[in-house]
Amino acid sequence: MTDLEPITPQEAVDLYVAHRELEVSAKTLQNHKYRLNAFVEWCHEVGIGNLNDLSGRDLHRYRVWRQQDVNLITLQGQLATLRVFLEFCASIDAVEPGMRERVKLPEVTPGDEAKDVMLDDHHAKKLISYLERYKRASREHVIIAVLWHTGIRLGSLRAIDLEDYERENQCVWLRHRPESETPLKNQEPAERPLALDKYYCDVIDEYIQFHRHNVTDDFGREPLVTSDQGRLSSGQIRSEVYRLSQPCLVGDCPHDRDPLECEARLYDSYSQCPSSLSPHAIRRGSITYQLREDIPEEIVSDRCNVSSDILDRHYDRRTDREKMEQRRDFITDL
């Protein structure tokens, strides 16, 4: 057995962070610190004050503890970072060699990965703040703001006409018009008005006044979101979302790429960024955020036109522990 030198979990994390500081971007380093903070917290809870004492059984217990609070994709990422950390720890005689291999990563299918991809509220707020500052009331600002605020589908955004927006009532109507190529996914039952906060109405008002192209589509209708040719296609909206959701737009690249040389910054290649998101990921993130803000499921279901069953299975990314704590707020006085 290797002669190990005593070290606390926090001291080891501090050394690891200092070691990686010149190798990875600030954003990547921040992510590693966040993931390892959970491990340090667990070590404190179970009384592991010296990493020399860490065993494979301990690592299994940590995995079981952590999976109570995060989804499968997040768990895989956090355990992968823990593996890299333990490899470093072995190199400084903090844990036994080979400890890295004792961390078993969960198997993730493509379906699992797809259903957990979403725009989180932290990134959404940073992106909207960026657009507010540099692209106020632009088409890009309207697309991201409306998709995030309402949680509607791409096709629903595309279907909105200028006359569907009611500034005085602070709302926008979604209408099923298949005869002029703007159907809603769930057809007539999906028709409904959506309430808008004042901020979003102000953005739309300025967009209409200063940036919207005064055009009609092939059916003589006046779309709300336009190009100089008419109504945007689904592909154009999707491409805009891929471009705008790239993390390097508002911060560092988490993939250590140079944004000036990255092919994903080129037209028609925006989706090549590993972290770019589709409009559906914004919808999933918006729905999850609304639920985390204690908006009742029935209201979210009606607003976003999704059944309670589908909402629970495909959109709600809250952990069981999050749901429990939210329920607690309603029963504390019973």
- The domains of the chain are located at 9-112, 121-280
| Buried-state track 76-96, b at ≥16 Cβ within 10 A, e below 16 | bebbebbbbbbbbbbeebbbb
Who contacts 182 (Cβ-Cβ below 8 Å, separation ≥6)? 155, 158, 159, 231
Residue 330: predicted pLDDT: 66
Residue 86: predicted pLDDT: 95
Strands in the chain per DSSP E: 165-166, 171-174, 192-195, 226-227, 230-231
Q: Which residues are paired to 173 by β-bridges?
A: 193
Euclidean distance between CA atoms 81 and 77, whole angstroms: 6
* Assigned architecture for domain 121-280: Orthogonal Bundle (1.10)
Q: Looking up tokens 């159907």, which residue turns up?
A: 183
pLDDT tens digits, 81-97: 999 999 999 999 999 99
9-112 CATH fold: DNA polymerase; domain 1 (1.10.150)
Euclidean distance between CA atoms 150 and 143, whole angstroms: 11
Please give the backbone phi and psi of residue 58, each rounded to the nearest 5 degrees, phi first.
Answer: -60, -45
Please, what sign has the CA dihedral across residues 62, 65, 66, 72? positive
Residue 103 gets which letter from DSSP? S
What's the one-letter identity of residue 158?
R
Ordered DSSP codes for 243-307:
HHT-GGGTS--TT---TTT-GGGSTT-GGGSTT---HHHHHHHHHHHHHHTT--HHHHHHHHT--
CA proximity to 70, closest of 107, 127, 116, 26: 116
Residue 108: predicted pLDDT: 62
Residue 268: predicted pLDDT: 81
Segments of the chain scoring below 50 in pLDDT: 1, 113
